[in-house]
Amino acid sequence: MRYPTLSRSKCAELAEKLRAGNRVSIEPHVRWHGTGEDLELAPIETLARQIMADLAERPDQDPEEFEGAASIELFKALQHVPVEILDDRGFWRCLSLQYFWDYIAWREAEPFAAGNHLKYVDASLNAEAVLPRMYLRACAVGGHRLAAEIRRGVDFWRSHVIRVRIGSAPPIARAFVEKQAQERFATGDIRVAAKHLNRLWANVVLYVYDDQSAKHLIDSIWHEHRSRAVAAGH
């Protein structure tokens, strides 16, 4: 399958022009990789347009909450894309500039205004680049509505799901996210609980957990740390 990509150097050059307000065309700089039929881009383009239409209708939406809801739709739009394409950073760079630039500029308005925009579009860091982190957020929970459940939760997703192995085991991630949504730990407490969970990978095959066993595991971790906090007088 053939799919569009954008080099990192060209991404940086074009992103700077776009940030300066120049409406440059991305298409002449796109390079197609692979063989066979072209990847169907219509669902992706449709989503990008829908996102901007939603923002035009309600420009005062909370950026973090909007990202959570949009991540589910992005996951759906990319379900037909082979994993080897999703592993190509050039593909994410192309999508970011060609279809989602306006959304990303809105989402990260403050760093864009300061000129600190490249990491949000060049896909070098999955936990920072807007589109990859949105996709991985939804992918971690199998496209479940939980991707949008935690208010003010971008740091939670970045630090405790996307950057660590939890994100590769959807039942564990779903149970972890649902528990945090229901009984929200403070930042320090959730960090301790997350470290506990990540240490389990050394001795436990968490990939084999189903939703019920994952829920039991997360409940036990929560209970243990709640008990410690009470004992410590917190």
Instruction: Convert the pLDDT of each residue in 61-102 to its tens digit.
Output: 989 889 999 999 999 999 999 999 999 999 999 999 999 999
Q: 32: helix, coil or strand?
A: strand
Provide the pLDDT for residue 208: 85
pLDDT (mean) for 27-42: 96
pLDDT (mean) for 12-24: 95
Q: How confident is the model at residue 57 (pLDDT cuts 50, 70, 90)?
A: very high
Q: How confident is the model at residue 24 (pLDDT cuts 50, 70, 90)?
A: very high
Provide the pLDDT for residue 164: 78
Nearest by Cα to 50 from 90, 85, 77: 77
Q: Which residues contact 143 (CB under 8 A, 6 or more apart)?
A: 72, 75, 76, 79
Q: How confident is the model at residue 192 (pLDDT cuts 50, 70, 90)?
A: confident
Nearest by Cα to 156 from 67, 72, 60, 230: 67
Average pLDDT, the chain: 89
Q: Are 166 and 198 in contact (CB under 8 A)?
A: yes
Q: What percent of the chain has pLDDT over 70?
A: 97
For residues 42 and 48, give the distance between their C-alpha atoms in angstroms, rounded to a whole number: 10
Q: Which residues contact 167 (CB under 8 A, 6 or more apart)?
A: 136, 139, 140, 161, 173
Structure-block tokens of residue 102:
């306006």
Q: Which residue has the tokens 């192995």?
A: 165
Q: Between 104 and 64, whose confidence is greater?
A: 104
Structure-block tokens of residue 12:
């940086």
By mean pLDDT, which of 16-30, 41-55, 170-184 is the weakest? 170-184
Q: Are 5 and 91 in contact (CB under 8 A)?
A: yes
pLDDT (mean) for 51-56: 96
Q: Between 18 and 205, whose confidence is greater?
A: 18
Reported as half-sphere exposure (CB side, CA atoms, 13 A), residue 87 has a value of 3
Q: Between 136 and 26, whose confidence is greater?
A: 26
